């Protein structure tokens, strides 16, 4: 996820921008850049697209002290549109040189805006979507708008979650920041000599521990010793600063009470990161440069086994569902601790895909070793690159969710699902099962995924009351069918590991085969029932539970009024392409478990008896 740092004060901003970017380095990046307004009022920009060396190379480049100015912005980038190189790095300047901006997020409608700007005579220097913002803001400032008005105007033209910082030669003492939706936060702070703005609290600690977080739909102006907050209509907002603890852990949590709530909120960002450099939204293509299998090898695969533990097994179940559905290859997910001991019949035509965010889970590593000995081509879907799993697999598919500190896996799950969905499309296209038109349709759907997840995250108001209700039960049943089954399993696992309530995930079709004996007022049932071809079956299951005195909470598609007639509680998620429904229903499952844990006084970041990485059997 991209990092942002901005400074307006008394000192030379250049070394301070570098230090600010270093403090958000943990977010990861493949390019870095800064813009400062020099003593003659000209915006000077220096940037590097040298992958992991970008920030150090940038520091060396500006280290000679030639460049100086007391106002500036800095950015570290994870490429989403355009290759990793210098011209695609941020900040981007307007063609008239009056404005420089840095941006987090994906501009879903950037092509139409780019066409409009090119038709007006603007020459683009990069392949990025972000450069559109620089030209939109630059044109407005050149027409007499203030920088704040110009940034608001530009933001109103774009679709998608976004965070922007901008400087203007016309107003050399200020930096403007704006946030729309969930594309990473913006936090500001000040002391007597300076005001600073960043994507992470940690970057502000050298200046102040009193910080203000921008909410979506807010814009801020900072200048030496001053912070001015506005809404998008330009009305001033008064907000008291939060005193953030001086320790790293508190700073890393930002304005979230727990790492888990922060990481749940980071999921739109995590999805964008997992698509970075893989989905070309303009061309409508998906490519996974990390896949080392040849087309012939991919076409010769006759079976796919996905393997993992806990939440990663649920990601594998999702992967199996989407791979078999799109690529028409037999695919199944297996618990690694079972796979490693059952002496499976696998070989060179079995593609094994391990899913492990840590890359150090003992059972998963053992299953991977078995697959390697069997000569199966093997991939690992992984967060922590360089871990043991990346040394066993033939190739690694990084999920790039960013370090996950909460023991309960949330953003790494959704990033793994996003990565596996892309893999399914690549396998299907390489095997000739789907063509470019179908791939373009998938790209058009997943382009909306960050915004859809951001909308689903807004459900929190519906969740809290239901969580209070579920916290009264000692036993919970979670039901799902098809691609919703792994989500039912994940919902039950989250409730177990966070609220310590006994919760079972079950295929809804299993009800009559024993589960019905459990039904009654002492066990509540959570049903994942989005509108799809299994919806009617799920309605029947809900009625089956109700008929035996059970209480039902349904997760349903927005606008579905039928389900309210059968379920006791309904949580609505955004309507979307069926392929994306598991991403929607996952969000209330996570929020329910988190809120129920809080209702019961549990620590959601450090659940009892559990570790973040299980390096033993
Ligand atoms: C899920 O919330 C737990 N943290 C746990 O089930 C976890 O998914 C499992 O231990 C696998 O971890 P891994 O992804 O690092 O292999």
* CATH code of domain 3-252: 3.60.20.10
pLDDT tens-digit map of 428-483: 999 999 999 999 999 999 999 999 999 999 987 789 999 999 999 999 999 999 99
Q: Indicate the pLDDT class of residue 246, thresholds 50, 70 and 90.
A: very low
Domain at 454-599, CATH homologous superfamily: Glucose-6-phosphate isomerase like protein; domain 1 (3.40.50.10490)
The residues, any chain, with a CB within 8 Å of residue 342's CB and separated by 6 or more, are none
Residue 563 Cα distances to 122, 417, 531, 556, 591, angstroms:
52, 27, 10, 7, 21
Residue 54 Cα distances to 23, 28, 60, 500, angstroms:
14, 11, 10, 45
pLDDT tens-digit map of 349-375: 999 999 999 888 889 999 999 999 999
pLDDT tens-digit map of 35-44: 999 999 999 9
| Length of the chain in terms of residues written | 617
pLDDT tens-digit map of 381-392: 999 776 788 889
Residue 240 Cα distances to 227, 231, 509, angstroms:
11, 16, 53
Q: Indicate the pLDDT class of residue 79, thresholds 50, 70 and 90.
A: low
The residues, any chain, with a CB within 8 Å of residue 89's CB and separated by 6 or more, are 31, 32, 33, 47, 48, 49, 54, 75, 77
pLDDT tens-digit map of 480-494: 999 999 999 999 999
Tell me the longest C-alpha to C-alpha distance in the chain.
80
The per-residue pLDDT for 81 is 63
Q: Give the residue whose CA is nearest to atom 8 of ligand 1.
A: 311
Q: Indicate the pLDDT class of residue 89, thresholds 50, 70 and 90.
A: confident
pLDDT tens-digit map of 268-309: 999 999 998 899 998 999 999 999 999 999 999 999 999 999
Q: Indicate the pLDDT class of residue 561, thresholds 50, 70 and 90.
A: very high
| Spatial separation of the C-alpha atoms in residues 228 and 215, rounded to whole Å | 14
| Spatial separation of the C-alpha atoms in residues 19 and 74, rounded to whole Å | 10
Helix segments in 474-617, DSSP class H: 485-499, 535-547, 581-599
Please spell the DSSP secondary structure of 572-592, one letter per residue.
Answer: EE----GGGHHHHHHHHHHHH
Which of the following is catalytic: 537, 546, 575, 612?
612
Number of H helices and number of E strands within the chain?
20, 27
pLDDT cut 70: percent of the chain above it: 96
Mean pLDDT of 89-97: 93
Q: Indicate the pLDDT class of residue 248, thresholds 50, 70 and 90.
A: low
| Spatial separation of the C-alpha atoms in residues 148 and 223, rounded to whole Å | 13
* CA neighbor of 271 nearest in space, from 405, 384, 397, 411: 411
Domain with CATH 3.40.50.10490 in the chain: 264-438, 454-599
The residues, any chain, with a CB within 8 Å of residue 329's CB and separated by 6 or more, are 301, 302, 303, 304, 323, 351, 427, 431
* CA neighbor of 498 nearest in space, from 359, 595, 432, 423: 595
| Spatial separation of the C-alpha atoms in residues 390 and 372, rounded to whole Å | 12
Q: Which atom of ligand 1 is nearest to the CA of 409?
A: 2
395 CA from centroid of ligand 1 (Å): 21
- What φ, ψ does residue 449 adopt, rounded to 5°? -55, -45
pLDDT tens-digit map of 577-607: 999 999 999 999 999 999 999 999 999 988 8
Q: Which atom of ligand 1 is nearest to the CA of 613?
A: 15
Query: Would you report the helix, strand and coil content of the chain in percent, each value rounded to 5?
Result: 40, 25, 35
Q: Give the residue whose CA is nearest to atom 5 of ligand 1.
A: 310
Q: Give the residue whose CA is nearest to atom 3 of ligand 1.
A: 408
Query: Does 576 qualify as catalytic in the annotation?
Result: no
Q: Give the residue whose CA is nearest to atom 2 of ligand 1.
A: 408
The class that CATH gives domain 264-438 is alpha beta
356 CA from centroid of ligand 1 (Å): 7
413 CA from centroid of ligand 1 (Å): 9
The per-residue pLDDT for 184 is 62
Sheet holding 187-190: strands in order across? 43-48, 31-37, 71-77, 3-9, 194-198, 187-190, 210-213, 242-243
HEC secondary structure over 75-141 = EEECCCCCCCCCCCCCCEECCCCCEEEEEEECCCCHHHHHHHHHHCCCCCCCCCCCHHHHHHHHHHH
312 CA from centroid of ligand 1 (Å): 6
- What φ, ψ does residue 577 adopt, rounded to 5°? -55, 140
The per-residue pLDDT for 110 is 87
**Residues within a 6 A CB radius of ligand 1:** 308-312, 356-358, 361, 364, 407-409, 497, 613-614
Does the pTM surpass 0.85? The reply is: no
The residues, any chain, with a CB within 8 Å of residue 487's CB and separated by 6 or more, are 314, 318, 480, 528, 582, 585, 586, 589
pLDDT for residue 250 is more than 80: no
pLDDT for residue 127 is more than 80: yes
pLDDT tens-digit map of 256-270: 899 999 999 999 999
Mean pLDDT of 141-156: 96
277 CA from centroid of ligand 1 (Å): 26
Is the link from the previous residue into 445 a cis peptide, with omega within 30 of 0? no
Q: Indicate the pLDDT class of residue 247, thresholds 50, 70 and 90.
A: low
Q: Which of 310, 316, 386, 503 to mutate to test ligand 1, by most ligand atoms within 8 A of the CB atom?
A: 310
pLDDT for residue 611 is more than 80: no
515 CA from centroid of ligand 1 (Å): 27
Domain with CATH 3.60.20.10 in the chain: 3-252
Q: Which of 311, 336, 401 to mutate to test ligand 1, by most ligand atoms within 8 A of the CB atom?
A: 311
Chain-wide mean pLDDT for the chain? 92
Neighbours of 64 (CB within 10 A): 7
pLDDT tens-digit map of 516-539: 999 999 999 999 999 999 999 999
465 CA from centroid of ligand 1 (Å): 28
């Amino acid at each position: 996820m991209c990092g942002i740092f901005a400074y307006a004060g008394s000192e030379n901003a250049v070394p301070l921008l570098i230090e600010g970017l270093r403090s958000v380095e943990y977010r990861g990046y493949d390019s870095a850049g800064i813009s400062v307004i020099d003593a003659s009022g000209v915006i000077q920009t220096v940037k590097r697209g040298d992958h992991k060396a970008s920030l150090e190379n940038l520091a060396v480049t500006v280290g000679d002290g030639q460049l100086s100015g007391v106002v500036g912005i800095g950015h570290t980038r994870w490429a989403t549109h355009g290759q990793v190189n210098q011209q695609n790095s941020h900040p981007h300047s307007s063609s008239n040189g009056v404005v420089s901006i840095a941006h987090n997020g994906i501009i879903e409608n950037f092509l139409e805006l780019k066409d409009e700007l090119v038709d007006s005579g603007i020459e683009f220097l990069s392949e990025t979507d972000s450069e559109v913002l620089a030209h939109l803001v630059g044109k407005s400032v050149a027409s007499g708008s203030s920088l704040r008005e110009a940034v608001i105007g530009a933001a109103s033209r774009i679709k998608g979650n976004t965070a922007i910082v901008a400087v203007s030669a016309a107003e050399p003492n200020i930096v403007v920041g704006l946030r729309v939706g969930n594309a990473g936060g913006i936090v500001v702070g000040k002391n007597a000599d300076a005001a600073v703005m960043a994507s992470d609290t940690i970057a502000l600690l050298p200046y102040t521990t009193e910080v203000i977080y921008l909410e979506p739909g807010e814009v801020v102006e900072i200048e030496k010793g001053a912070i001015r907050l506005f809404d998008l209509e330009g009305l001033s907002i008064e907000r008291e600063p939060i005193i953030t603890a001086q320790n790293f852990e508190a700073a890393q949590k930002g304005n979230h009470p727990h790492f888990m709530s922060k990481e749940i909120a980071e999921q739109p960002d995590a999805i964008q990161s997992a698509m970075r450099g893989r989905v070309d939204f303009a061309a409508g293509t998906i490519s996974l440069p990390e896949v080392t299998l040849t087309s012939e090898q991919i076409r010769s695969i006759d079976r796919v086994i996905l393997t993992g533990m806990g939440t990663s097994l649920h990601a594998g179940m999702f992967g199996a569902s989407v791979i078999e559905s799109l690529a028409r290859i037999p695919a199944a997910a297996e618990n690694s601790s079972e796979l490693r001991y059952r002496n499976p019949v696998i070989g060179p035509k079995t593609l094994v895909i391990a899913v492990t965010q840590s890359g150090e889970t003992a059972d998963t590593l053992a299953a991977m070793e078995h697959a390697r000995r069997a000569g199966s081509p093997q991939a690992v879907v992984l967060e922590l690159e360089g871990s043991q799993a990346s040394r066993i697999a033939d190739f690694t598919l990084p999920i790039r969710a960013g370090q996950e500190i909460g023991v309960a896996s949330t953003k790494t799950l959704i990033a793994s699902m996003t990565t596996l969905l892309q893999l399914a499309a690549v396998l299907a296209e390489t095997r000739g099962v789907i063509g470019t038109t179908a791939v373009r349709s998938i790209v058009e759907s997943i382009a909306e995924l960050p915004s859809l997840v951001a909308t689903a995250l807004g459900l929190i108001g519906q969740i809290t009351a239901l969580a209070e209700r579920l916290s009264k039960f000692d036993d919970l049943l979670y039901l799902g069918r098809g691609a919703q089954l792994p989500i039912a399993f994940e919902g039950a696992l989250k409730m177990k590991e966070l609220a310590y309530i006994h919760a079972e995930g079950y295929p809804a079709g299993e009800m009559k085969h024993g589960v019905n004996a459990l039904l009654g007022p002492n066990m509540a049932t959570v049903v994942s029932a989005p509108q799809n071809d299994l919806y009617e079956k799920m309605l029947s299951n809900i009625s089956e539970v109700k008929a035996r005195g059970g209480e039902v909470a349904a997760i349903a598609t927005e606008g579905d009024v039928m389900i309210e007639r059968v379920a006791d509680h309904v949580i609505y998620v955004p309507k979307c392409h069926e392929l994306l429904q598991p991403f929607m229903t996952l969000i209330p499952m996570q929020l329910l478990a988190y809120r129920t844990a809080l209702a019961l006084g549990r620590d959601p970041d450090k659940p009892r008896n559990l570790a973040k990485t299980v390096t033993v059997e």
